[in-house]
Amino acid sequence: MPISGPEVDSWIDEMSHLASQFVARFEVTYGFPPDEHYVSRVADSGGRNALATALGGAVARDLIDFYSRVAQVSLPDVGPGFFVDEAECVVEGLRGAQPTQVSSVSNRTIVVFGSDGGGALFAADCQTGEIVRLDGGSLVGNIYEAAESGVQVIARDVEGFMQFLYREMLRQTPADD
Query: For the domain that residue 152 is a member of, what is the CATH number?
Result: 3.40.1580.10
> Is 147 part of any domain?
yes
101 burial via Cβ count (<10 Å: 0-12, 13-18, 19+): middle
Torsion of CA 119, 122, 125, 129, to 10 degrees: 160
Count of structural domains, the chain: 1
> Is 34 part of any domain?
yes
In the predicted model, what is the mean pLDDT of the chain?
91
> Is 17 part of any domain?
yes
> Is 122 part of any domain?
yes
- pLDDT surpassing 60 at residue 115: yes
- pLDDT surpassing 80 at residue 127: yes
> Is 177 part of any domain?
no
State the average pLDDT over residues 161-177: 88
Residue 42: predicted pLDDT: 95
Confidence of residue 59 (pLDDT cuts 50, 70, 90): low
Distance CA 2, CA 64 (A): 11
State the average pLDDT over residues 76-99: 95
Residue 1: predicted pLDDT: 56
- pLDDT surpassing 70 at residue 58: no
State the average pLDDT over residues 159-167: 97
> Is 48 part of any domain?
yes
77 vs 127, which has greater pLDDT?
Answer: 77
> Is 95 part of any domain?
yes
3-state secondary structure 45-85: CHHHHHHHHHCCCHHHHHHHHHHHHEEEEEECCCCCCEEEC
**Chain centre to alpha carbon of residue 120:** 11
> Is 91 part of any domain?
yes
CA-nearest of 28, 130, 116, 129 to 80 is 116
Residue-number span of the structural domain to which 65 is assigned: 5-172
